[in-house]
Chain A
Amino acid sequence: AQSVSQHNHHVILSEAASLELGCNYSYGGTVNLFWYVQYPGQHLQLLLKYFSGDPLVKGIKGFEAEFIKSKFSFNLRKPSVQWSDTAEYFCAVTTNRDDKIIFGKGTRLHILP
Chain B
Amino acid sequence: NAGVMQNPRHLVRRRGQEARLRCSPMKGHSHVYWYRQLPEEGLKFMVYLQKENIIDESGMPKERFSAEFPKEGPSILRIQQVVRGDSAAYFCASSPTEGTNEKLFFGSGTQLSVL
Contact = CB atoms under 8 A, between A and B. Distances in A.
Contact of B35 (A98, A103, A104): A103
Given A99-B98, A100-B33, A103-B45, 13 more contacts: A9-B40, A43-B107, A43-B108, A45-B106, A90-B42, A92-B43, A94-B101, A99-B48, A99-B55, A100-B48, A100-B59, A101-B45, A103-B35
Contacts of A42: 108
A6 B104 CA distance: 21
A32 B43 contact: no
Interface string A37-70: 0000011111001010000000000000000000
At the interface, is chain B mostly helix, strand, loop or mixed?
mixed
Contacts of B41: 105-106
A105 B42 contact: yes
Q: Which 6 A-B pairs have the closest CB atoms?
A: A105-B42, A103-B43, A44-B106, A43-B108, A103-B42, A43-B106
Interface of B: 4, 33, 35, 40-45, 48, 55-56, 59, 91, 93, 98-99, 101-102, 104, 106-109
Interface string A87-102: 0001010100011111
Interface size class, chain A: 20 to 34
A74 interface: no
A101 B104 contact: yes
A7 to B, nearest CB: 13
A32 B44 contact: no
Nearest to A32: B101
Contact of B43 (A9, A45, A90, A94): A90
A83 to B, nearest CB: 23
A56 to B, nearest CB: 18
